[in-house]
Structure 1
């Protein structure tokens, strides 16, 4: 062998030795024992890391988005009136969701939900890998994991969020019941159409409350969760409709497999096509007034304002949809259609407020607050900065009867008691001089209380208030529901007999409802019920206690039927229907009222002159002259009441009294009798004196200036109809005439 060949052989051997040495070293590290050790060590490291993560990660509080809900407001029949809040969600307890509807969600998302540990490790691992590789959103999560993601975490797709989801899901599954988790999942999921939670979805897709959903409809809602935008039937294309139908069938088939649905029942099911999308009711029109009034009632009843504003409440109001429509139509046809603010400035100043109450329940069944809360925020139905005027007079008589009061010469005050009705007659027995004029300065001479009420004679009721005692009159008014604060104008002085304090249509409706309800206290309530999940605050009973005796209340009602039959309220007469009521027109014609009632319905209508930052006269509204309570307010009342009571049998008052127009009246004083002043009344000779210069005028008022701008609509004529001299005095009730101060 040559040297060259020898050298090559040595080099070749060296290379072989080197390879052998290297190969032997690797094998030493990669024997099957070493590989197993590596795997076990890695698994131990993962388990240790997960254990540390499990101890480190706590179940966090719910995220703000998951807790955000809408507050739902409903009419008395359950129809949604309005929703408030940024998120259209209304959580419901699982007990309200039909069992088969609950099962549709389990069948759609997680058939083994009731037996699993709350997580899918394979699904989570797949999600982690795909998230790490940037492949976006991946499925495979359990219902528990989806609930945790919705309620506790964010929707971001990161590895850290997926790991937290896994740990928290395990803990939630250990700490909470399956029912709790299922309810949370169903209530926090997004269903499309702006609906979060199954109750909002049931309304959005089927216009139903969740408890009324069928299993077919539940299966559709469970299906739509997979892809809300693609599976919304109204927006889906042919492929989307095919996919959601396939998903719907999948859900129902899974229910049969799990014995949650009989196969025979499943075979007869048809796909439940959802309704077309509709806008979520807002706060336009009267709804804004309802919502604001409802919130004030709830806060007064003890509901925490912050908790309420966080959302999730369902508030059912006493508002009756039929009656509400009738009231709005009556205002429009009897007044606003006749207004033309461009032609007459005063037409733009005319505001109307009205409240209608069921006297038996105390519920506010209809309310008119103005042109709409988004146009005229001040609620004319609850504002109390205008004078109720002569609608206060029945309260003076009620106080007289309740207190067994007598005239200055000791004659008991009843409907037939004779007073001096001379205009500007100075009151007797008062430390404060007062001599109010009657409307048009008309003097009546000796006149019965009944006729004085019919014609709203100021001089009679000014004297009666003093006879009863001004403090007692105020006490009775407060017992009946009026605001007795001095800063609201309720000062104890003779001028209060003209109703110069502030009052709202809602207050006056409550006062007259108490009279209608035989003296039982009625505090008008707009809220029927409120609930949030299983929470139901205790609301005060709108009918509670006795304000005045039945005899006093029924006697006033009897007298007020005469106002309708023979007096200033003749515009509201209805054939066969018993009606009682009183008109009112304030000083300077800044407000005009009609408050009246049948045995089943009480309504107070107020009309207010609202200028810029001050109260103004209504004179000339709709091209007419002075606006009286017997004009527009009574006409609105009549048109509304006729429609609201349509279809009901005419009713009569059940009165426990022997006085007033509702019972056969005693003979009227003869013409010759009127020449002499009866002993029970002040002398006629005294009644002709003019009021002293120091006496307060009938214009005394403490009303505040309105701050909101008026709204109006188009009209023509509006002069009140004259009284019908031939009308009779019966309990059948009636409607209109002109009113006075």
Structure 2
């Protein structure tokens, strides 16, 4: 042992039996050798002093405190402490409850179900409290050597430090601490850091009492977990991770000493910005550790040779930043979490983020482990596919509109778990979440909800409807763009004049669905959409059937999943459970399902939606051999394009459009191909297919539930042939198609004005199957002569009657006279018969034969 050292026996007696003991360790005496405080003070700016004033002040303070503390050491009862407060600081009211060590904030973390870290959540205070027994001995030793070498010997106050504080106050120069660890705890958590004699006395009083109420180990553990190490790191565990990216158990002696150095002044000894200064102080601490007997001189020499390597700051990069943002939003705002985290925003923020770094009076909060349902493999695949199809605009982009983007939302059908929620734009560019917050016109992707409402109202998939375009539809309420009662609807392409509802679904025929919307009404459509999973408010307009409302991709995926499960809707969720750091479950999500629509109805609707993929507008989404269904959607002005599709186990919605406003997707380049117009089947559908192929490589596709009984929704309805006599041909055609019948026009000879319907077949009033053909007989354009009644007239009278009839009809026909012998003298020169007969028609180029008796 060096000649200038003295040895003092010390025992570390802890309440915890796992606590280790330092016994008979070397001690630096303030009379015989320097400690780390002396080393630091020697490096600071020299202070001028008034020798006489200082000597008197220090002598008085030290003598007074020695007497006071000796008294407190024997009489530490609460009443004694309160009396001393009244005696020394009668003007200060302090709650003794402040002596309880406050709960420390913790960092909250977001994980996927497989334990992959997505985010660390805090309010500028990165804190990871550790148990005392988990802190390595050499880190404890380094902190004691740097901050309070006599920690396990004093009763909370170091007289030398008090004298230093008095001296600094009297001189009025740069003030410094020098407090014991216990005093630092008191200063940081009870009395504050005002540089006054009064505050220093109060700090000392509380330090003494704090050590009477808590064990040394408990106070030291709190100190090591609460002290600030710089770079937002509070506590040894956070500091070890910040500077070395290590757990506490992995720290070396040199690294422990480096952490101890930063406590005194994280800015002055910043290992990143002041590496030389910090390394010098590190070595000083290592020397102090050896001199105090915490480590051997050999270990100290080896530790000082260790390179001074500090990890550069690396902000955590989440693989799913929009997911994390939604987690924050839900916990801070959703009423579902009221009972767990409070009802006010302030309560929620503290529960989630812990205390902000700047709020000294705040305590507790944070420390949550939040688990989400997102599958990172699928999330990454969705991001990759969207960026491949819809890359971000670069500097060479000349399109003033920018570049379109997309969104993919996927749910598990039976539970509602959100497995992917990818916005096409990176979070640093667009914080707005297109999957959940982005609400756009779904176009024809909204038609399945109209179909459900129609079938619930008694409709049939095999009912026939007028599918012509454009089609003027009369409404009971204002429905036209001008506020009128006539709604003119157009289809995107050409189709047959009459289609079944199933065919209209497969081919996405607007005119048919507009009629269904008028039939069932917008309120029924809204009720259906809401009970199936749409949560957005929808305006009561007939054009809802064509996508006039605004909805998010997640809503659409959730609602469509109802078809895959035969009408059972599972409410979507992202947060599956929340636990404390030690695994105690605070919140556990329970799957919530409702039978939104009848099972047979859901199965019936699924059939035409399957044909949309195999044979209709979404053929580019078809995955060979996979049971699937879905529906395309295209905004009327091509501003939004959708495909929402499902397999038995999963439903995915794909939206494509411009992110900031609705701009027409016309003449755009996507994935290297120029699209004059983007439809739901041209871009979203193949994106869906590419993504779902990844999904089905990882998860089983499953099987759709049974569809027994769907024949009820496929019965062919009857209808009545309308009376179209006297109508024009177009009017009659409209009436027949409006009666769910096919119309064929046949021109016939008629004395009626040309174009006038004179008859139909089948006849008016008969009941026939919908879709049957009705032949409409229409007066032709050619003039005809209606044969007058000529029998019994003389030949001259007959010719005169024919002449009058021809003049009235505006036509002329050939007259042929035939003679037939007769035995009756009264029939001679009389018309016996005509060919054609009376009342029949003779066209202009025809002939009328008269048979005359002779």
Q: Distance in 2 between matches of 1:606 and 1:656?
A: 30
Q: Distance in 1 between matches of 2:291 and 2:518?
A: 82
Are residue 131 (structure 1) and residue 168 (structure 2) matched? no
**Is contact 1:118–1:145 with CA below 8 Å preserved after alignment?**
no
Give how far 1:155 is off. Answer: 5.5
SS of the aligned residue for 1:353 comes to strand
Residue number among 185, 191, 206 corresponding to 1:168 in the alignment: 206
Change (3 A) 1:147 1:581: farther
The match for 1:188 is 226
Q: Distance in 1 between matches of 2:769 and 2:89?
A: 93
The match for 1:451 is 503
Q: Distance in 1 between matches of 2:543 and 2:410?
A: 28
SS of the aligned residue for 1:376 comes to coil
Residue number among 176, 180, 183 corresponding to 1:141 in the alignment: 180
Are residue 589 (structure 1) and residue 626 (structure 2) matched? no
Q: How does 1:311-390 map to 2 (within 5 A)?
A: 311-312=353-354, 313=366, 314=368, 315-336=370-391, 342-346=397-401, 348=402, 350-383=404-437, 385-390=439-444
The match for 2:242 is 204
**Is contact 1:128–1:159 with CA below 8 Å preserved after alignment?**
no
Residue number among 609, 623, 634 corresponding to 1:574 in the alignment: 623
**Is contact 1:420–1:684 with CA below 8 Å preserved after alignment?**
no
SS of the aligned residue for 2:705 comes to coil
Q: Distance in 2 between matches of 1:150 and 1:42?
A: 24
Q: Distance in 2 between matches of 1:605 and 1:154?
A: 56
Q: Distance in 2 between matches of 1:666 and 1:340?
A: 59
**Is contact 1:480–1:514 with CA below 8 Å preserved after alignment?**
yes
* TM-score, structure 1 as length reference: 0.66
Residue number among 456, 467, 473 corresponding to 1:421 in the alignment: 467
Higher strand fraction (1 or 2):
2
Residue number among 657, 675, 695 corresponding to 2:707 in the alignment: 657
Residue number among 58, 61, 67 corresponding to 2:94 in the alignment: 58
Give how far 1:429 is off. Answer: 8.6
Are residue 601 (structure 1) and residue 650 (structure 2) matched? yes
* TM-score, structure 2 as length reference: 0.58
Change (3 A) 1:420 1:220: farther
SS of the aligned residue for 1:130 comes to helix
Structure 2 stretches lacking a partner, 5+ long: 1-61, 72-82, 169-173, 296-305, 355-365, 480-484, 717-739, 745-766, 777-854
Structure 1 stretches lacking a partner, 5+ long: 1-37, 255-270, 408-412, 668-672, 688-741
**Is contact 1:395–1:477 with CA below 8 Å preserved after alignment?**
yes
Change (3 A) 1:363 1:222: farther
Q: How does 1:319-718 map to 2 (within 5 A)?
A: 319-336=374-391, 342-346=397-401, 348=402, 350-383=404-437, 385-401=439-455, 403=456, 405-407=457-459, 413-414=460-461, 416-425=462-471, 437=489, 439-483=491-535, 485=537, 489-491=538-540, 493-530=541-578, 538=587, 541=590, 543-609=592-658, 615-622=662-669, 623-646=674-697, 648=698, 650-658=700-708, 681=770
> CA-to-partner distance for each residue in 1:619-658, whole Å, 9 max, x for gaps?
1121421111112222332233333443x25523231214
Change (3 A) 1:366 1:652: closer
Higher helix fraction (1 or 2):
1
Q: Distance in 2 between matches of 1:248 and 1:551?
A: 79
Question: What root-mean-square deviation, in Å, do the aligned CA atoms of Structure 1 and Structure 2 show?
Answer: 5.1
> CA-to-partner distance for each residue in 1:644-673, whole Å, 9 max, x for gaps?
443x25523231214889xxx999xxxxx9
Give how far 1:330 is off. Answer: 1.0
Give how far 1:593 is off. Answer: 0.7
Q: Distance in 2 between matches of 1:100 and 1:396?
A: 63
Q: Distance in 2 between matches of 1:588 and 1:372?
A: 27
Change (3 A) 1:167 1:601: farther
Give how far 1:482 is off. Answer: 1.7
Q: Distance in 1 between matches of 2:65 and 2:527?
A: 88
Q: Distance in 1 between matches of 2:180 and 2:64?
A: 27
**Is contact 1:421–1:447 with CA below 8 Å preserved after alignment?**
yes
Q: Distance in 2 between matches of 1:40 and 1:484?
A: 73
Q: Distance in 2 between matches of 1:50 and 1:118?
A: 25
Q: Distance in 2 between matches of 1:130 and 1:543?
A: 66
Q: Distance in 2 between matches of 1:79 and 1:391?
A: 35
Change (3 A) 1:437 1:192: same
The match for 1:23 is none
Q: Distance in 1 between matches of 2:648 and 2:310?
A: 42
How many residues end up aligned between the 2 structures? 597
Q: Distance in 1 between matches of 2:600 and 2:710?
A: 12
Q: Distance in 1 between matches of 2:412 and 2:161?
A: 61
